[in-house]
Amino acid sequence: MRFRKIHGAGNDFVFLSDPAPESDNDWAKEAEQLCARRTGVGADGLVISRLISTDPALLEVACFNADGSTATMCGNALRCTAWLARQDHGLTAMGLLMAGVTHEAVVDDDAVWVSAEVGAVHPRRVQAVINSRPTWFDSAYTGTEHVVAVVDDVDAIDTATVGRLIRHHADLAPLGTNVNFVQSAGSQELRIRTYERGVEAETLSCGSGAVAAVVIANMRGLVAQRTVTVHNQAGEPLTVRPHPDRPTRTQWVGGPVTHTFEGVLA
């Protein structure tokens, strides 16, 4: 089975495109094995995509986290899928169906864009003491669960320790959450670090987390409701901007996609 390793702004995935029906095996178990950094290919997740319609262009996308759990929304996985759809099928605009939700996607020469739906936002959802300072986390649903803390310096945060604590917070049980730490980086710019549920570690980039960060930063008055640059740990920023047709409930998230390598699974 041929695979491709692709990353979206540092968020890396193993991709299997249009696998034969008879290959529908235990993808959750496959994800655990393939995503293992030392004994597998190594990735934040495994993505399975199938072209199910050409008019209109529509692909079905399933994303499995490194621990085998299913992702209901992964902005960077969707962006990488759209990039592959252009390589494989010549598509530049398409729909991407993930966990029952269809996302718009556009591929241009400079970036790959996907839409993300914004759901419930709850200020002051949980609190933790970070570097001796009580800190509130607001929550924003962007197709998956996210909490966001606005801090003075993201580099001063022990992301793994605090992220794990909040990810398993009793008030967020049983699903848990992805955890984001955000700081202002100038006019319409943010810096972000993300501890991802399912990867159970800090990732270099998170598309749905970038959207959540912008939503909360807007609520907190750090940015206006227009294009925002979100600087991540990979040094490959994502851009978040309101959807012109429904700016209050849908955001576009865009950025680079890189094809790293490909191979064959024995």
| Residues assigned a catalytic role | 74, 206
For 140, half-sphere exposure in the C-beta direction (CA atoms, 13 angstrom radius) is 24
Cβ-Cβ contacts under 8 Å for 142 (sequence gap 6 or more): 73, 75, 116, 117, 118, 119, 208, 209, 211, 212, 215, 251
CA–CA distance, 119 with 141 (Å, rounded to integer): 5
How many other C-beta atoms can be found within 10 angstroms of the C-beta atom of residue 209?
32
CB 118 within 8 A of CB 141: yes
Q: Kindly state the tokens that stand for 76.
A: 């960077």
Beta bridge partners, 104, equal 95
CA–CA distance, 230 with 255 (Å, rounded to integer): 10
Q: Kindly state the tokens that stand for 65.
A: 């986290």
